[in-house]
Structure 1
Amino acid sequence: MTQNIIIVIPGTTGSTLFDPAGNEVWTTEVFKNLQEAASLLEQTDLTVGSISAAYTPLITALATKSGTSIPPIYVTSNSTYDPNPFPTTTEDVVVGFGYDWRQNNNTSAQSLATLLSVLFSTYSANTPKFWIVAHSMGGLISRYVWESGLAASQNFAGITPNLITLGTPHLGAPLALAAITDEIPSLILALIGIPGTQIQEFVDDTAYPSTFELLPPPGYNFITDVNKTSITYSVFDPTIISALESGYGVGAADFTAPEGFFSKLSQNPTIWTNNLYLIWGNDLDTTIAYNYDGTQPVGQQLSRPGTINLKGDMVVPYWSASFSTWTHGEAGNTYVAAFVDHINLPKNPGVQNQVTSWIYP
């Protein structure tokens, strides 16, 4: 039988973070001190602990379905792989990969490439199938490894894995702008559990640009000028950047890393032909657009429309998670999780069943 090497990659906030004293800052200390969440997360000496327990049900489902006797193995972007944590085996191996979700996604992609290199050198003699199961931002990080050319310089060059994405914002999430302007809907704030002002303060820190890398990419015009409805903008348009700079504590430098990241990702990549599997939530109220009104005072020129749009998983629109611009898929490589919200996609039994059925048909 073919050996399967399965890597589970979380989305943003999906890995624990520890301070040098060994205290779990994310999530424990943050939720003890909600009004200090931003300053706690902005500490520069935090290190990654492990993939969040929220992914344990998915990892357990994969390990159980595989029938492997090898327990799931957890590594992080800090791992040196010395000694090698992966056993010599021909059985399936399930790996949980934690990373510092605050940093540039391309930095996380480099850490993922290191993990893949170790796995390839350990198991390539078995000619295994490589699978990546990635939630949300983890899917963008995974794509970057191959679409940026990073994989070409690795020992696994020429190998493209099967990539299963769960609610990945392949075309961005307008809700990321709401985090910047402090307009995250109250229901989502209740699910997150952190005050919107603290989220806004944290995401405005140029040292941690990952939230900006969840915005719809340059050229994707989702912002409408309410005074000239025929005019729409990308968030990278100078008009919008100017409004953000003057009224929301955002600088032009905040857009440098995202532009570099997006420049490496295609909106219709051929590299994933027939080996990209897409899962998305739907039928829940989701931010799909934004308004701009240049006649309003500074700090009030951007606003989230109040209309209800049942077109996503509350965070990512269905057209983004379903990668609507991608035309190289195969019938049967998609799954819609109706009424499942973004946070709960990895924990949903229907999603887990679909993921395992693709790997173990």
Structure 2
Amino acid sequence: MSDDLDKSGRDGENLPAADPIADPGLPEHQWRPTDVDPAQERRAERQVTGMFLTAALLFVLFVVAYFAVEVDAIIFDYSASNIALGVTLGGGLLLIGMGIIQWAKKLMADHEMVEMRHPAASSKEDREAVMKDINAGIEESTLGRRPMIRNSLLLSLGALAAPSVVLLRDLGPLPYDQESTVWEPGMRVVNDVSGLPIRPSEIEVGQLVNAQPAIFFPQDGEEEAEISGHSQLAPKAKAAVIVVRMRPEDITPEAGKENWGIDGILCFSKICTHVGCPISLWERQTHHLLCPCHQSTYDLADNGKVIFGPAHRPLPQLPLMLDSEGYLVAQSDFLDIQGPSYPEIARHQEKLDSES
């Protein structure tokens, strides 16, 4: 416990520094129960030790949960892995903090100190001058005599919270309703820079082309597409794809996807299924696609399967065919959900798979 003596006069007036006072008039020191009762001291020591030991156990359980709890496991509609890791790590840190506080309050040395310090308060004249200016400003604003203005100001400041809700909502799409894009049967796959449609003969083995649906590149005389009355930015980013060509013998399609490519040309979503980063880092020799954000790696020769990194779902594939003029077009929209691997998306994907 520490008490400071102020070397200032009454009302904060600055006076010459005084000599230390032998008896400043402090009340008699009150000893803590742990200072006078050995049983209480031992009890407090056991409490602090118990907190530290429990924290150590929680840290061990954190490591166990990291390896034992399945990432896709769900409890109370939330990720069981996140809950287990958060409770164990957070609980351990909380107990360490509580133990240190109890240790300091009940068991560390308790003695009083008297320490001289310089005056911290402004002089009485300075304080009076500041209050005079404040009161003059309030009086000149007529705030007290105009309740309508005052109340409307308070209402407007309170309503300022509403835009924050909209801005937070606008940070990104919610993790559902992502099962469809603008791709439709017969829609051409076009280069995302030039907007030109793509023929198979224009893509070499090992090449990657960034592409978009033709709806975002109106031809001469066509009006710009309007997507559900919204900005094209979100639908365009969501529908972005990459087109790659491999030797047909290197591709191992899943059952039902044997006719999704054209002579080794396959089309996949450009959106990483981890947190939604755009990806196009292509390793032509290994047929691997690497996400630059967190190094999730997909094998495009094996149906976009994840072979490394934090992603948990394969990269969605867009089925391709040729139109009457020999250009690449979509057979349909993606059959898998686009976007990051939120638990809600994983459950919805399972529902779609069970229904198909």
TM-score using structure 2 length = 0.22
Q: Which of structures 1 and 2 has the bigger CA Rg? A: 2
Higher RCO (Cα < 8 Å, 6 or more apart): 1
TM-score using structure 1 length = 0.22
